[in-house]
Structure 1
Amino acid sequence: MLTAEQIAATVRGITAIQRPDGAIPWFAGGHLDPWDHVESAMALDVAGEHDRAEAAYRWLADNQNPDGSWYAAYTDGQPTDRAREANFCAYLAVGAWHHYLSTSDEAFLDWVWPYLYAAVEFVLGLQAPGGQIAWRRAPDGTVPDEALLTGCSSIYQALRCALAVAEHREQPQLDWELATGRLGHAVLAHPERFLDKGRYSMDWYYPVLGTVLRGAEAHRRIAADWDRFVVPGLGVRCVADRPWVTGGESAELALALWAVGEPDRAELILRWIQHLRAEDGMYWTGYVYPDDAVWPEERTSWTAGALLLAVAALGGDHATTTVFGGGTLPVGLAPRDSGCESERCR
């Protein structure tokens, strides 16, 4: 699908964007958000750029707020959106466990633990009694009574990785186990607890990508909206009613397909989106196919990062298959009165 040199060119594209302080913005001169920053760091690890990946995590440590959060956006090191989004803050746990699995660096895991612990505690402070987690704390400190299915699916994966770190360090966190179980049950059994964002493909595949759904349930979910979001030969729509395919969503769907045992379809999706590849090895964010137009005219670090992670999973990279396969990650404790019949609740 990609030659070694093509992969190396993509990696060089990400490293060219990374700032000397370790920050990885969307593109040179653009803004950074903590979630996509971590995704790009994970892509650096699968490419063997471990020092650069660690520099990205050190940037997070240097910029963590006293309450364990990060702001939603930074430009040139300064916050430009002071909301604190739950899934952005949780994703450090995925990156940290992935980095450890890539490097076996016990010193890194010891160093990152207090930052990871504080981030998880911030996120769980936003959990509602029903298990769902509010999507953000606003700049004025208020918390909307609103949760997002995509964000909560990502947080579920992050909590499982956080539990894996805690277990490895022999520091069990019972509160985290309970919170993980409650969140997983909410995603599985209570769609009414989340805002309706069904137009967006991320709400379709993220319960699979975030390791909440596996087995027959995952296959049913993928099949249900395949024709609604997938454009054969081009990739995956970001929004169902817009003629716009995007590289990031396409690569993430490929990763979800790999995770549920469909590597051939995963590879097909990745082959389709090679039309987004630029001469420098980076990938355009999206393509409006009726107009034959790249839009927006941005080659984003996170689009390249998502593609490299999907390729790594297909290639059997241990760290990537572990955090996205989910088979060996702790699952938390399901609520005793959940009544959930899913295989993921038992």
Structure 2
Amino acid sequence: MNRVERGSACAPTPEVPGILSRDECLATGLAIARMQEPSGAIPWFPGGHTDPWDHLESAMALTVTGLRDEAEAAFEWSRTTQRPDGSWPAKFRRDEIENDDTDSNFTAYIAVGVWHHHLVTGDERFAGRMWPTVRRALDRVVDMQLSGGQIAWASGRGGRVDEALVTGCASIHHSLVCGIRLAGVVGDAQPHWEIALYRLGHALRRHPELFTPKDEYSMDWYYPVLGGALRGGDARRRIESRWDDFVVDGLGIRCVDHKPWVTGAETCELVLALDAIGDDRRARDLFAAMQHLRDPDGSYWTGLVYADGKRWPVEVSSWTSAAVVLAADALSRTTGGNGVFRDAVVPADRVGADGCAEGCPVFV
């Protein structure tokens, strides 16, 4: 029996009583580890492509389930594949670049992964080793910020795409929060990230016209809550505003509002968003509802077309399994990283009523 088969778990594994046991959660971590390539990359599924964001989400799940060697191999892959400008190509397949464009959200997410690893393990040496990678990445992302505070979603050989997306920018908001906190741990303050964060948060809260509308996608609905740009009454009102459009009782949530297709990762991300605003009952109910996507080996199918009862696409995806593990950790408050999404918010005493930081100009 090799190490992945028996596991290298050395810390408490999340359990959500009545829904997901510790052994089942560990099995999900091991299912992700089995998909990992020798280089450390974690593709969407065996033989599939790897993107830098979903790769890191899977690494975070490995950290939660105690598979630390596998998690750190994934982070090392990120460290060694980073380009000199701080970015990563948007898509790899078996370590060959398939798409060399820069996605700002993909690039920023390394900050969430490394901060999460620190929260779970307390390993400051690891944080210090990864810090130059995080610093280069967030500097690259901040360079892509547009005049209204929003961040351009991509750049490529044709130059920067001056278009911003709610989902990506909300996730970058989370990444900047994590990067700023990591900067405090390593003793290397980055005040320009703080200014970028406050400008971005203000844009997300007050200026929807700055973003290309993608209203049919559930991620645009809940991501401003998940990424910490919205909390309190604003967050609750946003969730209520489209609950009936996306939530399918007993199954999970739609990825697209007009399609009879529920997806596991989006459902678990909504669980995390609900947990962040204290809506514990609905978070737990949705987590239970999506378990129909679980495979006996611990992995999770991506989605279900409930109109005909067929799983689609016909794949178990690493990032869906990862979202399950992270949601289980948040609901159970098990590891030190359980609040990484719950705490993805600028401290209230640093933000004025207009959503801008005290001491910073008001960006309108």
TM over 0.5: yes
The separation in 1 between residues aligned to 2:179 and 2:348, in whole angstroms, is: 11
> Structure 2 residue aligned with 1:25, among 38, 43, 58?
43
Q: Is the counterpart of residue 230 in structure 1 residue 243 in structure 2?
A: no
Q: Is the counterpart of residue 63 in structure 1 residue 81 in structure 2?
A: yes
Q: How does 1:98-113 map to 2 (within 5 A)?
A: 98-113=116-131
CA contact (8 A) 1:236 1:250 kept: yes
The aligned residue for residue 142 of structure 2 is: 124
The aligned residue for residue 216 of structure 1 is: 233
User: Aligned residues: percent identity?
Assistant: 49
Q: Is the counterpart of residue 52 in structure 1 residue 65 in structure 2?
A: no
CA gap of 1:86–1:327, structure 2 versus 1, over 3 A, is closer
CA contact (8 A) 1:189 1:340 kept: no
The code of the aligned residue for 1:298 comes to E
> Structure 2 residue aligned with 1:155, among 151, 168, 172?
172
Shift of 1:106: 1.1
The code of the aligned residue for 1:208 comes to V
Q: Is the counterpart of residue 90 in structure 1 residue 108 in structure 2?
A: yes
CA contact (8 A) 2:174 2:344 kept: no
The code of the aligned residue for 2:63 comes to D
CA gap of 1:63–1:141, structure 2 versus 1, over 3 A, is farther
Shift of 1:130: 0.6
CA contact (8 A) 2:28 2:298 kept: yes
The aligned residue for residue 16 of structure 2 is: none
Gaps (5+ residues) in structure 1? Answer: none
Q: Is the counterpart of residue 287 in structure 1 residue 307 in structure 2?
A: no
CA contact (8 A) 2:45 2:316 kept: yes
CA contact (8 A) 2:64 2:335 kept: no
The aligned residue for residue 310 of structure 1 is: 327
CA contact (8 A) 2:330 2:339 kept: no
CA gap of 1:259–1:198, structure 2 versus 1, over 3 A, is same
The separation in 2 between residues aligned to 1:248 and 1:193, in whole angstroms, is: 27
CA contact (8 A) 2:165 2:211 kept: yes
Q: Is the counterpart of residue 76 in structure 1 residue 133 in structure 2?
A: no
The separation in 1 between residues aligned to 2:226 and 2:349, in whole angstroms, is: 18
CA contact (8 A) 1:210 1:324 kept: yes
The aligned residue for residue 276 of structure 1 is: 293
The aligned residue for residue 12 of structure 1 is: 30
The separation in 1 between residues aligned to 2:185 and 2:134, in whole angstroms, is: 14
The separation in 2 between residues aligned to 1:341 and 1:328, in whole angstroms, is: 15
Give secondary structure in 2 for the equivalent of 1:291. Answer: coil
The code of the aligned residue for 1:244 comes to W
CA contact (8 A) 2:177 2:344 kept: no
The separation in 2 between residues aligned to 1:332 and 1:168, in whole angstroms, is: 21
The TM-score normalised by the length of structure 1 is 0.95
CA contact (8 A) 1:27 1:300 kept: yes
The TM-score normalised by the length of structure 2 is 0.90
Q: Is the counterpart of residue 341 in structure 1 residue 354 in structure 2?
A: yes
The code of the aligned residue for 1:279 comes to P
Paired positions, count: 340
The code of the aligned residue for 2:314 comes to E
The separation in 2 between residues aligned to 1:130 and 1:80, in whole angstroms, is: 32
The separation in 2 between residues aligned to 1:267 and 1:316, in whole angstroms, is: 13
The separation in 2 between residues aligned to 1:176 and 1:103, in whole angstroms, is: 25
> Structure 2 residue aligned with 1:300, among 311, 317, 342?
317
Shift of 1:59: 0.1
CA gap of 1:332–1:286, structure 2 versus 1, over 3 A, is farther
The separation in 2 between residues aligned to 1:159 and 1:20, in whole angstroms, is: 30
The code of the aligned residue for 2:236 comes to H
Shift of 1:22: 1.1
The separation in 1 between residues aligned to 2:149 and 2:87, in whole angstroms, is: 20
CA contact (8 A) 2:121 2:336 kept: no
CA contact (8 A) 1:163 1:330 kept: no
Greater fraction helix: 1
CA contact (8 A) 2:272 2:342 kept: no
Shift of 1:325: 1.2
Shift of 1:8: 2.0
* Superposition CA RMSD, Å: 1.7
CA gap of 1:127–1:57, structure 2 versus 1, over 3 A, is same
Shift of 1:272: 0.6
Superposed CA deviations along residues 96-118 of structure 1, whole A, max 9, x for unmatched, are 00001111111111111111111
Q: How does 1:139-154 map to 2 (within 5 A)?
A: 140-154=157-171
Superposed CA deviations along residues 119-151 of structure 1, whole A, max 9, x for unmatched, are 00111111001100000112x151112000000
> Structure 2 residue aligned with 1:195, among 198, 202, 212?
212
CA contact (8 A) 2:178 2:344 kept: no
The aligned residue for residue 269 of structure 2 is: 252
